[in-house]
């Protein structure tokens, strides 16, 4: 049986308390200091993932790198890389033939290249399938609200990152009304825009480092930064717009759920693993059998027997996004129902967005909180 490993880490105190209730009430600085001294460890065993193509079954394991996102990006680089490599070595010792770098573990070390050089097994970030499912989910959400992506104004937040840049290219390839690339560096945005224009010259492209006004006029927002969460506030969105939040932790703050019932926020990159009874034996906020696309990519490659470095490095390739999407369909992976802020999105919620957005768009001014 083919075997994989996948690295996870806590996104914040909520994750720690979910697994260690006694931590509730403890000060976050103290918890961070304890995590800083805690080695990587085996978290759970995964069973029941079965290919819809040939019935083959795989198993795997989760390994925790016990650091918050801010610690992974802010602590000494060698310390963090050491924890990540230690977790990968645990997977290798347990028989894994490929290991996936979840969350921020794929951000450090040149997007997985440094880790891959230290390993004798294959490494992937899972970012290719994350992109594939994000674009597919965003497109389906637009259809539900009656939005035509080919005529829509689409903003990509974090467009210079590895996920954001290839999302932008795929959206341009599919065709949108206007593509707005948002980021922090005008020069890097200009470089991405030039590359996209050379590939798809008919695309109407704009670039900006000014996020607010551009998101306010966008019908679809795809957000995929590594900013650490909550950079998109309730008053920034156009009524009736779709926001696909691909970031982990999420870029969209939780208050949007209460204050903006006229917009549809979906989590990007959430899918269903194939098999009669897939069990991850770990509570990361989803029902059993539901997983993030980065996890799924590692499973897909394991089912396919493709034990090679796949999605690593800053420059993701459209060809790999399309290839992993084909392999996912082959083995039976599919998009999960829409979710946001740890809850499923109901048909009633979608209808509410439709109704409220029509009312608020009667006024030409953007709705303000």
Residues 6 or more apart in contact with residue 9 via CB below 8 angstroms: 64, 65, 66, 67, 68, 69, 72, 102, 103, 104, 105
User: Is 190's pLDDT higher than 50?
Assistant: yes
| Burial label, 348 (beta-carbon count in 10 A; 0-12, 13-18, 19+) | exposed
pLDDT of 193-236, one tens digit each?
Answer: 999 999 999 999 999 999 999 999 999 999 999 887 789 999 99
Q: Please tell me the distance from the alpha carbon of residue 82 to that of residue 104, in angstroms, as a whole number.
A: 14
Phi, psi of 241 (to 5 degrees): -85, 160
Integer-rounded Cα Rg, in Å, for the chain is 20
Burial pattern 234-270, b for ≥16 Cβ within 10 A else e, equals bebbbbbbbbbbbbbbbbbbeebbeebebbbbbbbbb
- Averaged pLDDT for residues 181-185: 96
20: its two tokens: 């260690």
pLDDT confidence of residue 341: 87
Tell me which residue has tokens 């696909």.
Answer: 244
User: Is 261's pLDDT higher than 60?
Assistant: yes
pLDDT of 272-306, one tens digit each?
Answer: 999 999 999 998 888 889 999 999 999 999 999 99
pLDDT of 19-75, one tens digit each?
Answer: 888 999 899 999 999 999 999 999 999 999 999 999 999 999 999 999 999 999 999
pLDDT of 319-338, one tens digit each?
Answer: 999 999 999 999 999 999 89
- Averaged pLDDT for residues 240-252: 92
pLDDT of 73-83, one tens digit each?
Answer: 999 999 999 99
Give long-range contacts, CB 8 A cutoff, 24+ apart: 113-117.
113/312, 113/313, 114/81, 115/81, 115/84, 115/85, 115/88, 116/309, 116/312
Question: Which of the 8 DSSP states describes residue 226?
Answer: -
Instruction: Answer yes or no: are the C-beta atoms of 95 and 3 closer than 8 Å.
Output: yes
Residues 6 or more apart in contact with residue 143 via CB below 8 angstroms: none
pLDDT confidence of residue 338: 93
In terms of Cα–Cα distance, which of 182, 247, 188, 191 is closest to 216? 182
pLDDT confidence of residue 360: 65
pLDDT confidence of residue 369: 44
pLDDT confidence of residue 363: 58
pLDDT confidence of residue 362: 61
User: Is 367's pLDDT higher than 50?
Assistant: no
Please compute, for residue 246, the number of CA atoms within 13 A of its CA located in the half-sphere on the CB side: 34
User: Is 364's pLDDT higher than 60?
Assistant: no
For residues 207 and 369, which has the higher predicted lDDT (pLDDT)? 207
| 269 band by pLDDT with thresholds 50, 70 and 90 | confident
60: its two tokens: 């795997």
For residues 366 and 292, which has the higher predicted lDDT (pLDDT)? 292
> Nearest-5° angle of CA 146, CA 333, CA 343?
55
Rounded to two decimals, the pTM is: 0.92
pLDDT confidence of residue 259: 92
- Averaged pLDDT for residues 122-130: 96
| 169 band by pLDDT with thresholds 50, 70 and 90 | very high
Q: Cα 332 vs. chain centroid, distance in angstroms? A: 20
User: What is the secondary structure of 109-150 as a DSSP string?
Assistant: HHHTHHHHHH-SSEEE--HHHHHHHHHHHHHHHHHHTT--GG
Average pLDDT, rounded, for the chain: 93
| 249 band by pLDDT with thresholds 50, 70 and 90 | confident
pLDDT confidence of residue 359: 72
Question: Which of the 8 DSSP states describes residue 44?
Answer: E
Domains delineated in the chain: 3-127+272-335 (no CATH), 129-269+338-361 (3.40.50.720)
């Amino acid at each position: 049986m083919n075997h994989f490993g996948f690295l996870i880490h806590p996104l914040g105190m909520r994750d720690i308390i979910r697994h260690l209730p006694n931590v509730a009430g403890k000060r976050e600085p103290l918890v961070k200091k304890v995590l800083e001294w805690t080695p990587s460890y085996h978290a759970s065993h995964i069973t029941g993932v079965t290919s819809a193509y040939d019935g083959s079954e795989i198993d795997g394991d989760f390994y925790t790198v016990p650091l918050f996102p801010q610690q992974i990006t802010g602590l000494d680089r060698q310390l963090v890389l050491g924890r990540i490599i230690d977790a990968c070595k645990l997977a290798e010792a347990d028989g894994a033939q490929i290991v996936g770098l979840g969350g921020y573990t794929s951000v450090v070390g040149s997007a997985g290249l440094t880790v891959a050089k230290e390993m004798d097994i294959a490494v992937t970030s899972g970012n290719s399938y994350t992109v594939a499912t994000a674009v597919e989910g965003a497109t389906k959400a637009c259809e539900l609200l009656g939005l035509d992506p080919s005529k829509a104004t689409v903003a990509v937040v974090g467009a210079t990152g590895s996920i954001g840049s290839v999302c932008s290219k795929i959206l341009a390839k599919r065709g949108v009304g206007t593509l707005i690339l948002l980021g922090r560096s005008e020069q890097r945005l200009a470089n991405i825009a030039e590359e996209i224009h050379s590939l798809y010259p008919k695309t109407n492209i704009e670039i900006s480092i000014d996020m607010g006004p551009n998101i306010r006029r966008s019908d679809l927002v795809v957000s995929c930064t590594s900013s650490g969460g909550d950079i998109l506030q309730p008053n920034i969105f156009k009524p009736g717009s779709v926001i696909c939040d691909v970031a982990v932790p999420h870029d969209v703050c939780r208050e949007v759920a209460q204050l903006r019932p006229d917009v549809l926020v979906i989590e990007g990159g959430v899918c269903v693993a194939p098999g009669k009874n897939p069990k991850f034996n770990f509570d990361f906020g989803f029902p059993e059998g539901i997983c993030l696309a980065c996890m799924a990519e590692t499973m897909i490659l394991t089912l396919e027997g493709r034990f090679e470095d796949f999605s690593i490095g800053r420059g993701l390739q459209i060809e790999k996004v399309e290839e992993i999407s084909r392999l996912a369909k082959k083995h039976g992976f599919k998009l999960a129902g829409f979710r946001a802020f740890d809850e499923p999105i109901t048909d009633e919620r979608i209808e509410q967005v439709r109704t409220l957005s029509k009312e608020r768009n009667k006024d030409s001014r953007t709705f303000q909180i």
